[in-house]
Structure 1
Amino acid sequence: MTVEKIDTLVIGAGQAGVAMSEHLSSLDVPHIVLERNRIAEQWRTARWDSLVANGPAWHDRFPGMEFEGHKPDDFVPKEQVADYLEAYAKKFNAPIRTGVEVKKVTRNTGGPGFIIETSKGVIEANRVVAATGPFQTPVIPPIAKNEKIVQIHSAEYRNPQQLPEGAVLVVGAGSSGVQIADEIQRSGKKVYLSAGPHDRPPRSYRNRDFCWWLGVLGEWDREAMEPGTEHVTIAVTGAHGSHGTVDFRALAHQGITLLGMTKEFKNGKVTFQEDLVENVERGNKNYMDFLDAADAYIERNGIELPEEPEARKVLPDPDCMTNPILELDLAEAGITSIVWATGFALDYSWLDVDAFDEQGKPKHQRGVSSEPGVYFVGQAWLSRRGSAFIWGVWHDAKHIAGHIATQRTYLAYTDPSQR
């Protein structure tokens, strides 16, 4: 059997794999990229129909190409993000092979590099880059597994029309949960939103987008989460353009019933934690702190930007906050479906190397694994806050490609006396 050999194998052709390929190409590192589906498949088929990028077009892109047909402050629809990534790969003739699934990667015992078993044969590579992204295995808590009700994860949600008649319970207060709940409610359905701890930055403030503020305030380059914030989600949306600041009180006044964190399902009833007010107030404090930091930056630097006093107005507490619901009978509430916006788990079961901790998370430093020759790119907080975003992935990939190129120079060394 003929075994193909390559210096570096990149697994995954989403934004991380495309960025990785660009930098490896610029450094003349021989490589191929394997993708089991199509380029940027997650953007095409693992998102809901109306999704747009969470950042404006001037920000959520690679440095080498702008979005065609969009103004800088537009929020690009998901299909066009996928088209952009595909066009970007073609721009430098990325060596991407689609329709090839990687089944297993193991260390090449007694030889260099790794043996990669794929659906199209075996490949040997000196180095392997896992560019499969952070959205791998949808997580649905098992607490409602016995309920006779339609349940889908946000990765399966496409539009309100796919849900049965009746009210909907959306679990999760991050960007996905908030956007899905808002869309379903606007379609005419009754929506209950279970909201845990969250941050909610302004979409824009004083004529500058949230992404710009994170940049000038140094937040994109923050290298680690604040202690104790690991389970705090971020609620931000581009669905309504620059006016898309998420405000949970506004969602409630719009008609969405807010609930605390989902606690337990039993005998057709669901109970909730007594933390709704605390979670909303925490999110509001985060919002106000952000405005304070922005105002201080403007004053400190003498920048002329229009004041925005309306941004600090707080709506009155809705009834669902003054009288929190702690238990719902699903049938009495008319709830016929649940959308779980509860995140994703990593799945590296195919990567059989010593590069993971006890929880199965990659052990690495800025994407350079503890296992020599193995690299990770595209993960949240890989090197900083911006790592999971399109532009952040590009910079992380540049660092990793540089590391690979440096290792190649050492291996290319030959004893002068043998030349």
Structure 2
Amino acid sequence: MEEFDTVVVGAGQAGVAMSEHLTNLGIDHVVLERDRVAERWRSERWDSLVANGPAWHDRFPNMKFDCDDDAFPHKERVAAYFEAYAKRFNAPIRTGVEVTAVTPHRGRFVVETSEGVINARHVVAATGPFQKPAIPPVIPVDAGPLQMHSNAYRNPGQLPDGAVLVVGGGSSGVQIADELMKAGRKVYLSIGPHDRPPRRYRERDNVWWLGVLGKWNADSPGPGTEHVTIAVSGAEGGKTIDFRRLAHQGMTLLGMTAGYKGGVVTFADDLPTNLAAGDANYLSVLDEADAYIARHGLDLPEEPEARIIPDDPECVRNPITELDLREAGISTILWATGYKFDFSWIKCDTFDALGRPLHQRGVSREPGLYFLGLPWQTRRGSSFIWGVWHDAKFIADQIAIQRGYMSYTGTAAIRVPEEA
């Protein structure tokens, strides 16, 4: 049985960041990855995907991307970035090794893998938030059209001829729907509550505004916004998502997917409400940005055209609440509905009833077990490339602190009470 102080599970952005900080602290560790470094960037995303943030911002502090700072790196370049970063400090990564179980045992952990068993004092689950594709049980699998999750979508040519219903108005859903429409497909897009920040405003990118306005450091979602998706895109050099413009170009917008019966999909009548809330979010960012510029006396050009909201298209004025799949010619239903956690391989009592980790800033209830790369782990930026690097440093410091306690060998003085 091999022994390490720390086993890191996963060699994506979280695992690579964790390894760097452990290396800097001189902590003996190994990183186990069942596939390749940054595998999800390579094989679980569509072909044209680019990062949602510009290269100058969405990176680790110690290495730049090999492209223009304002560019949005393609997914293959992102994967190559993490691979090159790991080589800079000779990260002890073992690829092709799957972790099948982590079990606490006498103050340590037994880590079972496809290559044998490892004994460790600490374990960091760095598998990130994109673990198990989530498809709501709304439309039966035998309804007729091909159904797939966005993680299986690659390009328009992969799908059978015909119209496509995309469910989910977040970044993945809207980018895929836009790509399909540009490829000549008839596209229906079902959207729910969402934020849609400006990609750029007054010569500054959205990530810059989130930074100077202090929004990256929010420590929890706002009340009622826990399940609100964010529609933002780095595609085509980066552009602001505007659902109405997409509809004017030919896309049919729908409210949230609500049910199915006899070949007919039903939708909530919440489309106008969802769009109005997205507009309010968009305009609020512009208001805050304008106030910040005025307060600090910045010389950034005004952009009044950014406040122009297009007229409502027909599908918004008269929302569709029922759609016969056969009559609409829909051959594919594509679910861009996010992911669920899957930590079934961790045999510890540190999860809630839905399988979500119970932790404080990544420190679990099980001594020695840590999580990294979770959404809102410490702040809004936690699941982003730059944010996970800082969270990894915190976890590495906690491991070092615990090692310090465990290395203590002194004897506490015992005071014997004097006899009366």
Q: TM-score range by the shorter chain?
A: over 0.9
Partner of 1:355: 350
> How far off is 1:370 after superposition?
1.2
**SS in structure 2 of the partner of residue 123 of structure 1:** strand
Matched, 1:263 2:248: no
> How far off is 1:254 after superposition?
1.2
Aligned sequence identity (%): 64
* Counterpart residue identity of residue 268, structure 1: G
Matched, 1:4 2:2: yes
Counterpart CA distance in 2 for 1:245 and 1:346 is 30
Matched, 1:28 2:23: no
Partner of 2:177: 181
Matched, 1:210 2:206: yes
Matched, 1:79 2:76: yes
Matched, 1:191 2:187: yes
Counterpart CA distance in 2 for 1:147 and 1:416 is 71
> How far off is 1:106 after superposition?
0.5
**SS in structure 2 of the partner of residue 90 of structure 1:** helix
* Counterpart residue identity of residue 269, structure 1: V
Partner of 1:314: 309
Counterpart CA distance in 2 for 1:167 and 1:112 is 56
**SS in structure 2 of the partner of residue 337 of structure 1:** strand
Partner of 1:275: 270
Moved over 6 A (4+): none
Partner of 1:106: 103
Please give the per-residue CA displacement for 1:24-70, whole angstroms capped at 9, x wherever unaligned.
Answer: 000001000000000000000000000000000000100000011x1
1:293 to 273, 288, 295: 288
Counterpart CA distance in 2 for 1:216 and 1:150 is 44
Partner of 1:117: 112
1:410 to 396, 405, 408: 405
* Counterpart residue identity of residue 28, structure 2: P
Partner of 2:417: none
Number of residue pairs aligned between Structure 1 and Structure 2: 411
1:168 to 164, 171, 176: 164
* Counterpart residue identity of residue 197, structure 1: P
Please give the per-residue CA displacement for 1:141-162, whole angstroms capped at 9, x wherever unaligned.
Answer: 1111241210010000000100
* Counterpart residue identity of residue 285, structure 2: F
Matched, 1:302 2:280: no
Counterpart CA distance in 2 for 1:36 and 1:179 is 29
**SS in structure 2 of the partner of residue 192 of structure 1:** strand
TM-score (norm 1): 0.97
* Counterpart residue identity of residue 224, structure 2: G
> How far off is 1:360 after superposition?
1.3
Please give the per-residue CA displacement for 1:212-269, whole angstroms capped at 9, x wherever unaligned.
Answer: 0000000001100001111110000000224x10001111011100000001111111
* Counterpart residue identity of residue 32, structure 2: L
1:95 to 67, 86, 92: 92
**SS in structure 1 of the partner of residue 151 of structure 2:** coil
Partner of 1:38: 36
TM-score (norm 2): 0.97
* Counterpart residue identity of residue 413, structure 1: Y
Counterpart CA distance in 2 for 1:223 and 1:251 is 33
* Counterpart residue identity of residue 101, structure 1: E
**SS in structure 2 of the partner of residue 317 of structure 1:** coil
> How far off is 1:177 after superposition?
0.3
Structure 2 residues not aligned, in runs of 5+: 413-420
> How far off is 1:354 after superposition?
1.5
**SS in structure 2 of the partner of residue 351 of structure 1:** coil
2:363 to 368, 373, 377: 368
> How far off is 1:414 after superposition?
1.5
Q: CA RMSD in A?
A: 0.9
Counterpart CA distance in 2 for 1:359 and 1:322 is 38
> How far off is 1:416 after superposition?
6.8
Counterpart CA distance in 2 for 1:154 and 1:215 is 29
Structure 1 residues not aligned, in runs of 5+: none
1:65 to 58, 63, 71: 63
Partner of 1:16: 14
Counterpart CA distance in 2 for 1:354 and 1:6 is 23
